[in-house]
Amino acid sequence: MASLSPESTSLLAAEPGPVKLDWTETALVIIDMQRDFLEPGGFGETLGNDVSQLARAVQPCADVLQAAREAGILVIHTREGHLPDLSDAPPAKVERGAPSLRIGDPGPMGRILIRGEAGHDIIPALYPLDSEIVIDKPGKGAFYATEMGDVLRKYGIENLLVCGVTTEVCVNTTVREANDRGYRCIVLADCCASYFPEFHEMGLKMIKAQGGIFGWVSDSAAVLEAMVEALPTHATGGGKRYIS
């Protein structure tokens, strides 16, 4: 398996402009690609959403995930969910709206958005390897009440390739949190999705507006091309490597 060398850098095509990445300081972050959000009977559907809208992001995510694994790039998955006693779920969150099922209620895949239940887990197409990091978060952002910051510091990460759902909620929240902490975020447009296509488009526009106020927007094709260019012709080892 090829691995990135310490000097591996790429100029990644993105908006509002290309961004230079040191791949040894870059992590792939896949946000909340969970059964409760993407599959029928999950929490997303109980809110009245068409979960098929999120399916378009699965294959692009899978392509980038496979490439990251082959390159030895740090991979982080996140899952939104709560403790079984709901002690980390504020009433304002649990009681909002008028869904057919609420957080903690029994559903077709176990209790809705409860850690350890089948619906809380990541979809099979993107399932984490044992060697990959999974961060459970009680909120929309990946930094709130989690070890995300500690993990990124441990591995010397400066750049985040961000994928997942939904574009305007958990993806945008995480990007804004990361931006405030000094990380460069590149959101991969086709690797993200929303139940509302117009929210997806506006969520991306918000990130790249005003010269990239929160980050950059690219896509899976650009990232895959950049990864191929950065990989050494022959894997000789010696680079920073996260996946065996």
170 is annotated as an active-site residue? yes
Give the tokens for residue 105.
């209620």
**Catalytic-residue membership of 20:** no
Q: Which of 36, 121, 137, 208 is catalytic?
A: 137
Provide, for the chain, the percentages of residues in helix, strand and coil under a 3-state DSSP scheme, each rounded to the nearest 5. Answer: 35, 25, 40
Where is 217: in which H helix or E strand? strand 216-218
Alpha-carbon gap, residue 202 to 126, rounded angstroms: 26
Unique residue bearing structure tokens 């239940």: 117
The one catalytic residue among 32, 121, 136, 219:
32
CA dist 81 and 36 (Å) reads 10
Whether 136 is a known active-site residue: answer: no
- Residue from 170, 185, 191, 192 carrying the catalytic annotation: 170
H helix intervals, 30-171:
35-38, 43-46, 58-71, 91-94, 148-154
- Annotated catalytic residues are 32, 137, 170
